[in-house]
Amino acid sequence: MNKNRLIAATAMAGAMALLAPRAQAGGFLLQEQSQLEIGRAFSGAAAAADDPSALFYNPAAITDLPGIQLSTGATLLFIDSHQRDLGTTRTGPGATPTQAVGGGNGGNPFAPVVPVPTSFASARLSDRLWLGFGLSAPFGLKLRYEDDFFGRYDSTYSNLLTLDGQMSAGYRLNDAIAIGGGINLQYIYGKLTSAMPALTPGGTDGHNSMKADDVSLGWNAGVLIRLPHDVRVGLGYRSRIKHELKGDYHWELGGTIKDFGVRSPITLPDMLTLGISAPLDTRTKVMISGRYYGWSSFDALKLHFSTGSSGRRDFNYRDSWSVSAGLERTVTDRLTVRGGAMFDRTPTNAAFLSTRVPDGDRTWASGGLSYRLNGHMTLNASYAHVFIAKQDLLRTDSFYTPPATMMTTTSARSSGNVDMLAASVTARF
């Protein structure tokens, strides 16, 4: 094998290790698309329509909103995440003994505050027809470990951003049934880096990185059924979105630097939400919701380099689900309070866990309120705490081609939790 082919093959192997962990669902799926819904742990998603953010979960729900409405706000995430080394090692070629990688725990890789902004609008055009528009970030992740992180051969930096523009219409078939649907225009950008072990003991680590982006289309649909006694049943669907990311791959080791073009098809999952809202009395409502996430769309990652090389890594992620329940009470004509809880199962497969996307089963507890400032404006505020189950990972990655093959085994325990503060303002015209 000549030098260029050797470098290309090595780069491909490094890139597979670099990108494989990014497909772990809960870690970069952002639930927080409605600051109001956070307060009841999304138990009202699909069935309740208090403001235009209902559009994200069920486009038919906006048929409950009079006039023209605009809701804009942000959620602040305070993420505490830590990795504990359980014996991470590297093994060199031939008779080179296995050695401990060593290093620190990487610190908390997340920024002190992570903002998630959203904006939604709805307009009633007639007695039967509504239009809705939304701007959100349904998937996202940004974390950076310290330079001496023991898991640096698994990951050092991850930045995934999506921007989703939604345009939907809602239509009342009659007083009991409304339907809705529309399109989603989605932009995705990703940059991922990791270290590569030095070829000789005590040598300087190499590193590789990839950055790429794409724009693609998806669709959304929903139905809202109004039953007697003010009971509402809603069903909302957001489709998978297939992206063909294109960008650059950089590889650097032992003074050799190479840059390649790369493309990678990635499918973000679909989501189905079923919700029920029912009054307990004239001032109190109970809400329950269940959601399905089609993360099995991440069956494998395929990389295609401009050199002609390509590769595949299987994920075998499982579809996932969440369930939530909440209560809401109108205290006065101006003040409404709410609370809720949710269990959100991680879709990650134990064979593919990574420090790049720390994740585990999540349990939510939340509360919030809405206060009507005047006849045209309402303030929504929410707080939630998310308990994330500890997860152990044990993954082995191979670097370089024979006879220089090196193996790293990352053994770690991930732990963490999230606090969030959310606020939005809804204006009605």
- pLDDT tens digits for 382-416? 999 999 999 898 888 888 878 888 889 999 999 99
295: Cβ contacts below 8 Å, ≥ 6 apart: 25, 269, 317, 318, 319, 320, 347
User: Which tens digit of pLDDT belongs to each residue from 106-159?
Assistant: 999 999 999 999 999 999 999 999 999 999 999 998 999 999 999 999 999 999
Partners of 39 in the β-ladder: none
For residue 395, which of 15, 21, 13 has the smallest C-alpha distance?
21
Q: If you ran DSSP here, which 8-state letter would residue 139 be given? A: B
- DSSP-assigned states of every residue in 22-77: GG-HHHHB---S-HHHHTTTTTTTTT--SSGGGGGT-GGGGGG--SEEEEEEEEEE
Average pLDDT over residues 2-31: 46
Q: Are 244 and 217 in contact (CB under 8 A)?
A: no
Q: How confident is the model at residue 247 (pLDDT cuts 50, 70, 90)?
A: very high
User: According to the model, what pLDDT value does residue 314 have?
Assistant: 66
Is the pLDDT at 25 greater than 50? The verdict is: no
Greatest alpha-carbon pair distance for the chain in Å reads 79
Q: State pTM to two decimals.
A: 0.90
Give the pLDDT score at 95: 66
Beta bridge partners of 410: 395
Domains in the chain, CATH or no CATH each: 3-428 (2.40.160.60)
**Cα 356 to chain centroid, rounded:** 13
pLDDT for the residue 242: 97
What average pLDDT does the segment 316-344 reach?
96
pLDDT of residue 172 exceeding 70, the answer is yes
Q: Smallest Cα–Cα separation from 279: which of 311, 312, 247, 232?
A: 232
What are 66-91's pLDDT values in tens digits? 999 999 999 999 999 999 999 999 98
Average pLDDT over residues 333-340: 98
